[in-house]
Amino acid sequence: MSAPATPAPGALPSPQRHWDLRAAWNFIAGGTGSGLIVAAAVSGARGTITVVALGVGLALIASGLCAVWLEIGRPWRALNVFRHPQRSWMSRESYAAVVLAFVVPVAAWLEATRSMAAPSALLVALVAALAFAWCQGRMLHAARGIPAWRSPAIPTLIVATALAEGAGAWWIAAALLGAGTFATLTVFGALLVARLVAWLAYRRTLRDTPRVAAALALPGSALLVAGTLVPLALIVATALSANETAVTTAVAAAGALAWLAGAAFKAALIVRASFLQGYAVPRMPVRGQAAPARDAPIGSMRP
């Protein structure tokens, strides 16, 4: 009996080797930072909590971009990322980051001085932060050779996770600083539900990619239980409790769980689930026989 044929290199899906945890940190920190800036802009809270949220949000975005810069083989060529905004979502992400680098400090200073121009600056920062998160989602979607990233549901999922994680981080700070209202707590719960809906919609697109589905099964379960159901239960308990210390602890725990579950999910999405598609030969050619007219070309790609 002859031995089974060994698949040619590239014929089977294999994990990509170009992006590691440093690239994952860009999506984790960048998403949380942009979401935190959005939360600061729309929360309605003013004063110290907004200044802190803006500063931490910008610092997180900067740390994510620095992690990517350290991953580049030739770091001093990083400025080339600004050359192709007309066709590169990475370039657009960089331009959004530049806008944030100028606008967020101005907004924080205006907020600290209680200037009447602060709401306008916060609005500009909000738009730039949303653009940054959207660029991150579209950057993954543009990687056509990686089934886990090219799903049409991935941009919405990335934006939803950014907003939920940013809201979670905002509530950690709000609990420590004694800020926050029932309305903002309700919005936090709604964002958690929106992230869960985006994950379920994305998971439906993984039916033809069992390896990706298996790699994301555990992080997805954590996103459901620890990142959504438990924080929602803590939010409900907070709304019903009259103990100020218990409320502060529960809200901070809800924010921390929402962030940790989202961060773990993104790390798995970027590193563990990023299988390359591989190639397929639907019908092997037989010497002396003509291929049927409808046969796919040798080496053609399939999902």
- pLDDT of amino acid 11: 46
- pLDDT of amino acid 220: 94
- Convert the pLDDT of each residue in 121-147 to its tens digit: 999 999 999 999 999 999 999 888 888
Q: How confident is the model at residue 3 (pLDDT cuts 50, 70, 90)?
A: very low
pLDDT at 282 over 60: no
- pLDDT of amino acid 300: 41
Q: How confident is the model at residue 61 (pLDDT cuts 50, 70, 90)?
A: very high
Fold type of domain 21-272? Formate dehydrogenase/DMSO reductase fold (1.20.1630)
39 contacts: CB under 8 Å, gap ≥ 6: 53, 163, 166, 167, 169, 170
Could you tell me which of 273, 268, 280 has the C-alpha nearest to residue 12?
A: 280
- pLDDT of amino acid 248: 78
**Cβ atoms within 10 A of the Cβ of 272, count?**
18
Tokens of 217: 């099964």
Tokens of 151: 């799903």
Instruction: Write down the domain spans for the chain.
Output: 21-272
- pLDDT of amino acid 19: 77
pTM of the entire predicted model? 0.83
